């Protein structure tokens, strides 16, 4: 299947700083990428849908000014957590949508810990 990478896989930062997470589709072009957040023992919570060349669509309750998403190319989307706080600590997972076939492939996730 298609491969999606995420970087970094684990990051620890201090409260108030910003963190950027990269999501890349390695062997296919993804016009649409998704960003999820996952808490322990819970399902994936969609944060936003990222479309190449346009503004991301955020789910209700997700602060777009706090979670900045940029999808500058067909293989790269970035999520920047601005002014991170301890409650932002979570597992962030991106996915890329391959429209042929209609399948979604996930990255390995990024564990964010804000101290």
Given the complex with another protein, which of 16 and 111 has the nearer CB atom? 111
Tell whether residue 115 is a contact of another protein (CB under 8 A).
no
Given the complex with another protein, which of 5 and 70 has the nearer CB atom? 5
| Window contacting another protein (CB under 8 A); options: 13-21, 63-71, 81-89, 95-103 | 95-103
Cβ neighbours of residue 61 closer than 8 Å, sequence gap 6 or more? none
Round to whole Å and give the CA distance between 49 and 32: 7
Round to whole Å and give the CA distance between 32 and 22: 14
- Choose which of 18, 83, 111, 115 interacts with another protein (CB under 8 A): 111
CB-based contact 71:77 (threshold 8 Å):
yes
Round to whole Å and give the CA distance between 66 and 85: 11
- Choose which of 39, 72, 83, 108 interacts with another protein (CB under 8 A): 108
Tell whether residue 102 is a contact of another protein (CB under 8 A).
yes
Question: Which DSSP category does 26 fall into?
Answer: S
Give the total of residues touching another protein (CB under 8 A). 26
Pairing of the two strands 110-114 and 10-13: parallel
Q: Which residues bind another protein (CB under 8 A)?
A: 1, 4, 6, 32, 34, 41-44, 46, 59, 91, 93, 95, 97, 99, 101-109, 111
């Amino acid at each position: 299947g298609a491969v999606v990478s995420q970087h970094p896989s684990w990051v620890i930062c201090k409260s108030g700083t910003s963190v950027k997470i990269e999501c890349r589709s390695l062997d296919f072009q993804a016009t649409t990428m998704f960003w999820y957040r996952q808490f322990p023992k819970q399902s994936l919570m969609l944060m936003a849908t990222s479309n190449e060349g346009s503004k991301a669509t955020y789910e209700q309750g997700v602060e777009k000014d706090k979670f900045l998403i940029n999808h500058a190319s067909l293989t790269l989307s970035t999520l920047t957590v601005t002014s991170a706080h301890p409650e932002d600590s979570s597992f962030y997972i991106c996915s890329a949508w391959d429209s042929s076939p209609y399948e979604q492939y996930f990255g390995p996730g990024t564990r964010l810990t804000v101290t």
